[in-house]
Amino acid sequence: MNKETFLEELRGYLRILEDQEQEDILEEYAQHIDMKIQKGLSEEEAIRDFGSMRELAAEILEAYHVKPEFDKKSSPYQPEIKWNKMKDTGKQFRKMGSFLKNKTKACIQGIRKCFHWCGRKCRALALWVWKPFSKAGTETKGAKTEEAFIHMQDTDLTGGESGNFPVNHMERTRQTPKEEGSLNIVKTVNIAQRRKRGWISAFLRGLIKTWDLFAAFCIWWIRLFWNLLWLFMALFFGGMALITLAGVGVILVLLPQGYPMVGMLLICLGGMLCMGALCCGSYSLILRRKKEEQETEKRETEKQEIVEQETEALVPSRSDYR
């Protein structure tokens, strides 16, 4: 132990004393050690002559009429042990946190899948309901295929599989490049049918196109509304969590002063956790939408590329449908 560490350690024991007094006595010890070194002793030897640090500190405190139990409180080792304990608990908390994170991730995945499944079923139902109307509305064969194409685009936009439509089969074949032969067959059939189309189909096409635009517009607005709603909710819950956190802070200050706030503290803690969870949940809902949008965009662009290649080769008027 050298002079500096000795003095610092001793200062740790003497924290109960006023700063001026600490300086005073430590100055004496520093000078004593210096003198010993001048006499030819090493730093180590000079310090060893003082004996046990604890006893020395106890003696100094006794000279100031300080109760000996304060010596234990002011010993510098206690806080270190506490720190270690805190580190351990911190590690445990982190482990628990990562565990919870994984579990919540899994839960969110499950909920997401559930939503996807529900969405698919709803869409299938809607298409099933729509099917008879579309059949009634379209008399000619060509128009029917048009209808099918539009529906295909619709399903692409919302990013899922439709029910038992003929389009669905086509979509599948496009997604799997192995069946390129069958895809080409379907294509050529479609194109042959389109050449036969009359003015009714043209009219219907226009009608369906405007309807499509309107639907897209509606979807855009609904999506915007949805995102804004959840953004607002996330901000609201986050704000509430912060307010309850501030409340917890205030109560923690008031509690030691004797205010009967234990119930309030529990309420605030619960509120904080609840609000935090709701905030995270709301935010994750926004993210989910964004991801889906990206996926559908990607899929759409892929589809468009395929359609473009085919239209360039065969029918120039196909570009209307995109």
Binding site for other proteins (CB under 8 A): 21, 24-25, 27-29, 31-32, 34-36, 38, 49-51, 55-56, 59-60, 62-64
Phi, psi of 138 (to 5 degrees): -105, 115
Question: How near is the Cβ of 21 to other proteins at its closest, in Å?
Answer: 8
Question: How near is the Cβ of 274 to other proteins at its closest, in Å?
Answer: 57
Cβ proximity to other proteins, 35 vs 313, nearer residue? 35
Question: How near is the Cβ of 29 to other proteins at its closest, in Å?
Answer: 7
Question: How near is the Cβ of 246 to other proteins at its closest, in Å?
Answer: 47
CB atoms closer than 10 angstroms to residue 286: 17
CA 210, distance to chain mean position in Å, is 39
CA distances in angstroms from 219 to 5, 37, 224, listed in the order given: 71, 86, 8
Question: How near is the Cβ of 69 to other proteins at its closest, in Å?
Answer: 18
Q: Which spans in the chain are helix H?
A: 3-13, 19-38, 43-48, 53-63, 69-73, 77-137, 141-158, 166-175, 180-195, 199-254, 262-313
Sequence-distant (6+) residues with CB within 8 A of 37 are 43, 46
Question: How near is the Cβ of 98 to other proteins at its closest, in Å?
Answer: 51
Question: How near is the Cβ of 25 to other proteins at its closest, in Å?
Answer: 6
Phi, psi of 73 (to 5 degrees): -65, -35
Q: Can you tell me whether residue 158 is helix, strand or coil?
A: helix
CB atoms closer than 10 angstroms to residue 165: 21
Report the C-alpha gap between 59 and 52 in whole angstroms: 11
